[in-house]
Amino acid sequence: MRNSTYMKMALNMLLHSKLRSWLTIIGIVIGVGAVVGIISLGDAMEANVQSRLADMDLTKITISPGYSRAQSNMPGPGRGWGGGSTTDTELTDDDVSALQGIEGIAYITGEISGREEVTYTGETATLSITGVDPQVWQYMTTLETESGRMLKPSDKYVAVIGSGVASGIYDQDVGINQVVTINGKSVRIVGILAEEGGSEDRQIYMPIDAAVYVIEDAEEDVFDSITVKAQSEELVDSVVTKIEDKLMISRHIVREDDRDFSVTASKSMAESVTEMTDSITLFLGAIAAVSLLVGAVGIANTMFTSVLEKTKEIGTMKAIGAKNRDILMIFVYNSAMVGFVGGIFGVMLGGLVSALFPYLGVTLMRGGSGTSISLSPGLMTFGLTLAVLIGVISGAVPAYRASKLKPVDALRYE
């Protein structure tokens, strides 16, 4: 027989058992739709993470006061997150001085931060203020201005504000050279940062000397954090180790249990986020694979039933000259056709689910805003190929058994 004959006979089998075929196809539709939808979500999450990583400065290392005991059990340098009991002490200018001689450090600076009431045209809002060293900050930050300029070493009571502070908080937009009042001090705006998404857009950056006077509880030469920029991404791990060793010595700490500072590398955080995203995608994919497995069992069940129903027809076909290969191919084509139809509708379902993700509260990381998730041609092809492959594999055993039936036994079958 020709392939066109196999296909025609397989199509007839599909059309003559509509209800059973469609019930089987629904199983494949759900499985393929779940796989395609989850893979598309995973792809979008990975693209988002990569976009964020491209924006991040992976040479940045942050030193914070206090240390979580749980962190000591985490592997690798620059371990960042943890819980458990903590110790808490101040970071001072002495710590900065102690670290300045470490090989591999390009820049180092101390920063202070706080939340204060910021008044503009009679309206008051509580905003985050960060005091930075303008001489170093301009080389360490990856932020860029949308208008105006960055801070200069000669600046005093001036500020660079995020795009969210410039518009969206006050009734009137805050522009360049406008003056806001922070705890009774007038501060002139010299720059507005480009939109980043997230909390960065609601930040105010000031020279650290002026920030000490507008942030309550701030003290001179006492920092909320120390930021270090390594000379290259490859040196980050060794610089983190050297920082930890140096601070242990300079702060006269002998035992790990007495440690009172934390060192966090952006590179380690980025790797952790990437691993977490991959794990989530793998986990969801495994759940979707279960749906696909159920669909495959449904196809196999349908094909076994079909073989039983058509046993006499198989005997008749063999009696008039049909070969084992012909019977095998007819049933394989039939199961592949079930997979193909299920794959088409499954891909459509996956596309629909992907389009609905943002409306179902599934948001990606950039700014917490919904991000469009779309199917790529490669993913659609993969979904369709997977469905046909599942159909062929599920129908292989029933088709083989049908092909091995003896004509006499098949004709006698009741």
pLDDT at 70 over 60: no
DSSP letter (8 states) at residue 197 = S
Which residue range forms the structural domain that includes residue 140? 89-258
How many angstroms separate the CA atoms of 167 and 151, rounded? 20
Mean pLDDT in residue range 110-114:
91
In this structure, is residue 373 part of a structural domain? yes
What's the number of domains the chain is made of?
A: 2
98, 212: one domain? yes
184, 230: one domain? yes
In this structure, is residue 182 part of a structural domain? yes
Would you say how long the chain is, in residues? Answer: 414
How many angstroms separate the CA atoms of 124 and 119, rounded? 4
In this structure, is residue 227 part of a structural domain? yes
pLDDT at 129 over 70: yes
Q: What proportion of the chain, given as a percentage, has pLDDT over 90? A: 20
254, 274: one domain? no
pLDDT at 71 over 60: no
DSSP letter (8 states) at residue 70 = G
pLDDT at 413: 64
Which of 258, 280, 315 terminates a domain? The answer is 258
185, 227: one domain? yes
Token pair recorded at residue 259? 């440690």
Query: For the CA atoms of the chain, what is the radius of gyration?
Result: 33
CB distance 396 to 332 below 8 Å? yes
In this structure, is residue 23 part of a structural domain? yes
161, 254: one domain? yes
H/E element holding 127? strand 123-132
231, 345: one domain? no
In this structure, is residue 130 part of a structural domain? yes
> What are residue 145's DSSP bridge partners?
193
List phi, psi (to 5°) of 78.
70, 25
In this structure, is residue 305 part of a structural domain? yes
pTM, entire model: 0.63
Question: At a CB cut-off of 8 Å and minimum separation 6, what does 90 contact?
Answer: 65, 222, 223
218, 250: one domain? yes
In this structure, is residue 82 part of a structural domain? no
Beta strand residue intervals within 29-166, DSSP E: 60-65, 67-68, 86-87, 91-92, 105-120, 123-132, 145-148, 158-161
CB distance 55 to 193 below 8 Å? no
351-381 residue pLDDT tens: 888 787 776 655 554 444 445 566 788 888 8
How many angstroms separate the CA atoms of 77 and 74, rounded? 9
222, 150: one domain? yes
In this structure, is residue 135 part of a structural domain? yes
Which of 196, 227, 258 terminates a domain? The answer is 258
